[in-house]
Amino acid sequence: MEELQYKIEIDAPREKVWDFMLGKETYPQWTEVAWPGGAVEGDWKAGTEMRFGGEGGGTVAKILTADRPSTIRAEHTAAISEDGSLDRESEMARSWIGSREEYDFVEKNGKTELTVRLAVPAEWREEFDGGWPKALDSLKDLVEAS
């Protein structure tokens, strides 16, 4: 697994950033620039499974930690095939299972520093290095405009 990290400062309290980043209605808005058609299903609570999907499939992750409004920790447990079925057997799924995502929201002087940390297969680095900065800029724009 390769460790990746992305940071952004957003001019808003962390509760607002949390709500926009993780909201069922707002999640697809900020992810659209990097991962078109993205959607999220589930409840951001420890022990639950979330489904992340977009054009051509997605992933399933178990929420390990959900401490609103400061921390989310998740581990991917399956891929989602184009037909919507769970995939734990394909080479892509096996490489993805066990990857992790962590989101930390730290408020300083009314602004939020959002840090995204990933532990992912090395072959995903290019996609995430291209996608996460765009997605975080989109999130910042949406939050600060509201």
Q: How much is the pLDDT for 129?
A: 95
Angle between helices 125-145 and 14-22 (to 10 degrees): 120
Residue pLDDT, tens place only, 27-76: 999 999 998 888 889 999 999 999 988 667 788 999 999 999 999 999 99
Q: Quick count: other Cβ atoms within 10 Å of Cβ 74?
A: 24
Q: How much is the pLDDT for 133?
A: 98
Residue pLDDT, tens place only, 70-88: 999 999 999 888 888 888 8
| Percentage of the chain exceeding pLDDT 70 | 99
Alpha carbon distance 61, 51 (integer Å): 7
Cα–Cα distances (Å) from 144 to 1, 16, 27, 55, in that order, read 34, 10, 15, 28
The larger pLDDT score, comparing residue 145 to residue 82, is at: 145
Alpha carbon distance 43, 21 (integer Å): 13
Q: Quick count: other Cβ atoms within 10 Å of Cβ 36?
A: 11
Residue pLDDT, tens place only, 109-136: 999 999 999 999 998 899 899 999 999 9
Domains annotated on the chain, with CATH: 2-145 (3.30.530.20)
